[in-house]
Amino acid sequence: MSEPVIKIKDLTFTYPAGVTALREINLEINKGEVLAVIGQNGSGKTTLVKHFNGLLKPSRGNVLVNNNNTKKFTTAQLSRTVGYVFQDPDDQIFMSKVYKEIEFGPKNLGLKGSELKRSVKEALEIVGLWDLRRKHPLDLNLNEKKLIAISSIIAMKPEVIILDEPTTGQDHHGVKKVESLINELSRNHTIIVISHNMDLVSRVASRVIVMYDSRILFQGTPKKVFVKNALLNKTYLKPPPIARLAQSIKGFKRDVLTIDEFIDELISNKSRSSKSH
């Protein structure tokens, strides 16, 4: 297997105000995975991922990005490899035109002329917002602003893309759009996604880490994680609705996560019970 793209070793972080938000975190993030980070508000998810592009630097321990210690690099340098999309797009968007907002990153990386134009066009097209290029970002709705924030990171083509609560405040249509975007981006990027939408997590993630009180409580595939109800309860999390329904039915396998698996269980359960009569 290839080297992990990000290695976190004994990471502890205390904010200047005195809050210790991360304690003794050890984690390796592999190239090409879709890693979901879940956990209640305040458990340390954002603080953790802000260490991956140097927005925060460890108080103790180390974070290595492609074996480079983040302590020795600026966020601008690390952002070539790891792009972080803020939870609140208003914390990220600062240009007066959508086109300029998307252009800013690749321009700073030295892209010019037709190459620069192509990267802006591709980044806007992948989120489906090319038609909004002449708009002022403040005139957009939250869904659109979130997609613009994602697009401006895509335009820099970082190896790793971090999405911090990309579906918060979005309707069903917005969630579906983010889901297909993650699936598309995961073909040539490593994706880290923080989310409270367990349905989305169960469908896109190859691995889930569960944070609780500044630590990683446990981790595994969605199938492994969403059957651990007692541990999830401790963190005030619940498995996705379809899993909860399957878990409540006698005779069903407990690790059902999709409609197809649910239907399979329904059929095999029926044939089992008709045989026993």
Ligand X SMILES: Nc1ncnc2c1ncn2[C@@H]1O[C@H](COP(=O)(O)OP(=O)(O)O)[C@@H](O)[C@H]1O
> What are the residues binding ligand X (CB under 6 A)?
15, 17, 19, 21, 39, 41-47
- Smallest CA-to-CA distance from 70 within 132, 161, 7, 133 is with 7
Amino acid identity for residue 86 in this structure: F
Residue 195 touching Mg ion (CB under 5 A): no
Contact 127, 181 (CB under 8 A): yes
219 close to 225: Cβ distance less than 8 angstroms = yes
Nearest approach, Cβ of 216 to ligand X (angstroms)?
A: 12
CB 15 within 8 A of CB 55: no
Give the three-class secondary structure for 72: helix
Q: Which does 186 bind (CB under 5 to 8 A by kind): ligand X, Mg ion, none?
A: none
Return the bridge partners of 218, or none.
Answer: 210
Least separation in angstroms between residue 36's CB and ligand X is 13
Size of the site for Mg ion (CB under 5 A): 1
Nearest CB to ligand X, comparing residues 25 and 93: 25
Spatial contact of 126 and 154, defined as CB atoms under 8 Å apart: yes
| Contact assessment for residue 150 and residue 181, using Cβ atoms and an 8 Å cutoff | yes
When the beta carbons of 47 and 119 are compared against ligand X, the nearer one is: 47
- Least distance to Mg ion, CB of residue 46, Å: 3
Smallest distance from ligand X to CB 166, Å: 13
CB 184 to ligand X: min, Å = 25
Smallest gap from residue 164 Cβ to Mg ion (A): 6
SS3 at position 68: strand
For ligand X, which is the closer residue by CB, 39 or 240? 39
Indicate which of Mg ion, ligand X, none lies near residue 1 (CB less than 5 to 8 Å, by partner kind).
none
- Given Mg ion, ligand X, none, residue 47, with its beta carbon under 5 to 8 Å by kind, binds ligand X
Shortest CA distance to 138 belongs to which of 130, 129, 148? 148
Closest CA to 24 of 66, 64, 71, 59: 59
Query: What would the two tokens of residue 181 be?
Result: 């975007």
**37 or 102, CB closer to ligand X?**
37
Nearer to Mg ion, 25 or 242 (CB): 25
CB atoms within 10 A of CB 231: 14
One DSSP character per residue, 234-258 reads HTT----HHHHHHHTSTTS-S---S
How far apart are CB 22 and ligand X at their closest, in Å?
A: 8
> Could you say which of ligand X, Mg ion, none residue 111 binds, taking C-beta under 5 to 8 angstroms by partner kind?
none
Answer with the entry of ligand X, Mg ion, none that 85 interacts with (C-beta below 5 to 8 A by kind).
Answer: none
CA 32 from chain center: how many Å? 13
- Residue whose CB is less far from ligand X, 25 or 123: 25
Residues numbered 37 to 56 that lie near Mg ion (CB under 5 A) are 46
Binding at 94: pick from Mg ion, ligand X, none (beta carbon under 5-8 Å per type): none
Q: Which residues form the interface with Mg ion (CB under 5 A)?
A: 46
